[in-house]
Amino acid sequence: MSFSQLSPVWILLAALHLAHGQVVQINQGRLRGTAERSRNGVKYFSFLGIPYAQAPEGELRLKDPQPHPGWSDTKNATEHGNECPQRNYFNHQLIGSDNCLFLNVYTPKIDPNAKLPVMVYIHGGAFKGGNTRFLKEKFIMDKNIVYVAIQYRIGILGFMSFLDDVIPGNFGLKDQIFALKWVQDNIAHFGGDPSRVTIFGGSAGAAAVDYLVISPLAKGLFHNAIIQGGTATSPWAYIPQTVAKQRAEAVATLLGCPSKPTTEALACMRDIPSDNFIIVTDKFLEWDLSPLGPFSPITDSFMGAGAVVPDHPLALPPNPVNIILGYNSYEGNMIASMVCFNEFRLARDMEVDLPRRLALLTNLQDQVKYSEKAKVADRLFEFYLNSQNISKDNVYKFADLGTDILFGHPSFKAALNYYKKVPLYFYLYDITPRITLLTMFGNCTHLRGPSHGEEIVYFFNDIIPNFELTPEEHKLSHRLLDLWTSFASTGVPSDTWTPVASDRIEYLHMTNDGFKMARGLYEDRMRFVDTLPLLNNQYNLRHEKTEL
């Protein structure tokens, strides 16, 4: 019999072998996964919906995560776990379950001696949405790493705080820390090296990574961190304590629960369906879809040694880890497209009450004193728009405003806080996309450059439905993933990407024409934002003299 006659048999046997999957023994019990193929045909094993903690429901709702008791039979790890309670961004339906503390593991080798670098992704979603099922792994599994994607509590159930030890808040961050402990205890069973763990994330996931970089409770659980478009001090990612307490008491009232004492509020909230918390979250949207993140992490200094964030993030030193930090050049397109949509309707609405509505749109409402809001709004419009109303001719300048306030200046401040203490590699992603994600926020044809999160299509497959990368875009995907996975393996992304060495910020400028080092990150814009009476600017982190 010829080889050509045998080959279909071998193909069938190979397919059956792939379908059979693989069984792994971890501390909680046995898991059966499936065998898959990456973009380039690399074989790997997928284990989905692994519970890393008990379901935070009933008596465990609004409590710290607790160890999962495990299982006796072999557990099929072939389907994603439930997402946490949230509103679907696209169809606005209520989805999810309290039973949502799951993670996925993807590995090319089931061998405890493989000791592959581990990359743990923390999803975004403004701390009120997101899950692991959209973080498809076909691209990243071309590389020789173990990839983990985790879920964590979000919204009210993840971040509401009464500023006491009954409902202290920061549960979502505690879930992430708990998941990282699970990784330390179990990842060797999947061929991963617990001494080479890199955490990375985008948007709220990036802010979460930044929180873990400065959290004493996360020390030693990871060794490298990649912060992609968001920091702990982005105005949508940090809630001052007084505001957090007011919102927690308002939640109790809206749910028909007592707000005092907290023990009675907790007892009442444990009996309420999770959907009700999502409906109540919508009550905090004061103007259109703003503010973006009404429930986010806080400083929980009142917890003493148990604090996740014991001080303002800019007052805390980083854990001893290597860091990549950066953002996209037109992150602010996300709000510029909103004001541009429908013939600039929201722009005209904003101009009627500029101090209040600009603060809501940029999430500065909690970062600026009420008496300063009008002054800040006027100065922002004067600097970025020459005091002109927003139009198709200058909406890209409003995008610059959004970029700097929401992402750029907080990233700059974080860089100043870190670069003298740990190796810090900064980047500016400036690659114009072929297809934009702006339609998520309101399509606008007058904008330019890469918007918020648009680099993610090169890290995870099928982010945009029916969108296929071109050969050149596949090359870009591999180049980005090579930088990220080299960093995960060695702590250094490349020989030519040098760390930050001055307040001017040395950074890798990623453009359509190539990648090259540059120095001086939007210096005029950063100096201007430095002069605004923002909460972040109470922390002067510059090491070198500068003229304002």
Mean pLDDT of 402-413: 98
Instruction: Inform me whether the pLDDT recorded for 42 exceeds 80.
Output: yes
Mapped to the 3 state alphabet, what secondary structure does 15-73 carry?
HHHHHHCEEEEECCEEEEEEEEECCCCCEEEEEEEEECCCCCCHHHCCCCCCCCCCCCC
Measure the CA–CA gap between 283 and 251, rounded to whole angstroms.
9
- Tell me whether residue 548 is in a domain: no
Q: Same domain, yes or no, for 104 and 181?
A: yes
Q: What is the pLDDT of residues 279-294, one digit of tens each?
A: 999 999 888 778 888 9
- Tell me whether residue 544 is in a domain: no
> Is 452 noted as a catalytic residue in this protein?
yes
Measure the CA–CA gap between 112 and 98, rounded to whole angstroms.
33
Count Cα atoms within 13 angstroms, Cβ side, for 147: 26
In this prediction, residue 440 carries a pLDDT of 63
Q: Same domain, yes or no, for 314 and 336?
A: no
- Tell me whether residue 545 is in a domain: no
In this prediction, residue 544 carries a pLDDT of 85
Measure the CA–CA gap between 383 and 397, rounded to whole angstroms.
10
Q: Same domain, yes or no, for 309 and 365?
A: no
Dig out the tokens for 14 from the structure.
Answer: 């190979």
Instruction: Inform me whether the pLDDT recorded for 3 exceeds 70.
Output: no
- Tell me whether residue 75 is in a domain: yes
* Active-site pick, 452, 454, 506, 509: 452
- Tell me whether residue 3 is in a domain: no
Q: Same domain, yes or no, for 227 and 356?
A: no
Dig out the tokens for 84 from the structure.
Answer: 């946490």
Q: Residues 306, 309, 312, CA angle at the centre, nearest 5°?
A: 140
Torsion angles phi and psi, residue 313, rounded to 5: -55, -35
Give the position of tokens 């990368």.
469
Task: Write the CATH number for 164.
Answer: 3.40.50.1820
Mean pLDDT of 101-120: 97
- Tell me whether residue 256 is in a domain: yes
> Is 312 noted as a catalytic residue in this protein?
no
Per the CB < 8 A criterion, the answer to whether 95 and 154 are in contact is no
Mean pLDDT of 415-437: 94
Q: Same domain, yes or no, for 203 and 161?
A: yes
Q: Same domain, yes or no, for 302 and 345?
A: no
Q: Residues 274, 105, 208, CA angle at the centre, nearest 5°?
A: 55
Q: Same domain, yes or no, for 337 and 241?
A: no
Q: Between 262 and 462, where is the model more confident?
A: 262
Q: What is the pLDDT of residues 265-280, one digit of tens each?
A: 999 999 999 999 999 9
The model's confidence at residue 225, banded by pLDDT at 50, 70 and 90, is: very high
Q: What is the pLDDT of residues 431-451, one digit of tens each?
A: 998 888 776 666 688 888 899
* Active-site pick, 46, 203, 274, 411: 203
Does the global pTM surpass 0.85? yes
What DSSP letter does each residue of 195-222 carry, written as one string?
Answer: EEEEEEEETHHHHHHHHHHH-GGGTTS-
Mean of per-residue pLDDT scores for the chain: 93
Measured between its terminal Cα atoms, the distance across the chain in Å is 82
Per the CB < 8 A criterion, the answer to whether 120 and 190 are in contact is no
- Tell me whether residue 325 is in a domain: no
Instruction: Inform me whether the pLDDT recorded for 16 exceeds 50.
Output: no
Q: Same domain, yes or no, for 446 and 473?
A: yes
Per the CB < 8 A criterion, the answer to whether 425 and 487 are in contact is yes
* Active-site pick, 83, 137, 249, 331: 331
Dig out the tokens for 388 from the structure.
Answer: 């002109």
The model's confidence at residue 352, banded by pLDDT at 50, 70 and 90, is: very high
Mean pLDDT of 336-364: 92
The model's confidence at residue 420, banded by pLDDT at 50, 70 and 90, is: very high
Give the position of tokens 């304590």.
241
Measure the CA–CA gap between 106 and 83, rounded to whole angstroms.
19
Which stretch of 161-175, 336-350, 492-506 has the lowest confidence by average pLDDT?
336-350
- DSSP helix, strand, coil percent of the chain (3-state; round to 5): 40, 15, 45
Instruction: Inform me whether the pLDDT recorded for 1 exceeds 70.
Output: no
Give the position of tokens 């009996």.
271
Measure the CA–CA gap between 470 and 452, rounded to whole angstroms.
21
In this prediction, residue 13 carries a pLDDT of 41
Q: Are strands 116-122 and 102-107 parallel, antiparallel or unpaired?
A: unpaired
Q: Between 443 and 205, where is the model more confident?
A: 205
| DSSP for residue 499 | P
- Tell me whether residue 108 is in a domain: yes
Residue after which a domain boundary falls, among 320, 340, 368? 320
What DSSP letter does each residue of 270-324 carry, written as one string?
Answer: TTS-HHHHHHHHHTT--BTTBSS-SS-----GGGGGG-SS-S-GGGSPPPS-EEE
Instruction: Inform me whether the pLDDT recorded for 161 exceeds 50.
Output: yes
Mean pLDDT of 373-380: 96
Q: Same domain, yes or no, for 107 and 148?
A: yes
Instruction: Inform me whether the pLDDT recorded for 52 exceeds 70.
Output: yes
Q: Same domain, yes or no, for 310 and 336?
A: no
> Is 20 noted as a catalytic residue in this protein?
no
Q: Same domain, yes or no, for 291 and 345?
A: no
Boundaries of domain holding 109: 19-320
Measure the CA–CA gap between 58 and 536, rounded to whole angstroms.
38
In this prediction, residue 207 carries a pLDDT of 98
Measure the CA–CA gap between 433 and 447, rounded to whole angstroms.
12
Q: Same domain, yes or no, for 258 and 400?
A: no
Q: Is 484 in a helix, a strand, or coil?
A: helix
Mean pLDDT of 447-461: 93
Measure the CA–CA gap between 447 and 514, rounded to whole angstroms.
22
Residue after which a domain boundary falls, among 320, 350, 378? 320
Domain tally for the chain? 2
Residue after which a domain boundary falls, among 320, 346, 369? 320
Measure the CA–CA gap between 414 and 207, rounded to whole angstroms.
11
Torsion angles phi and psi, residue 45, rounded to 5: -115, 140
Percentage of the chain beyond pLDDT 70 is: 95
Measure the CA–CA gap between 547 and 466, rounded to whole angstroms.
50
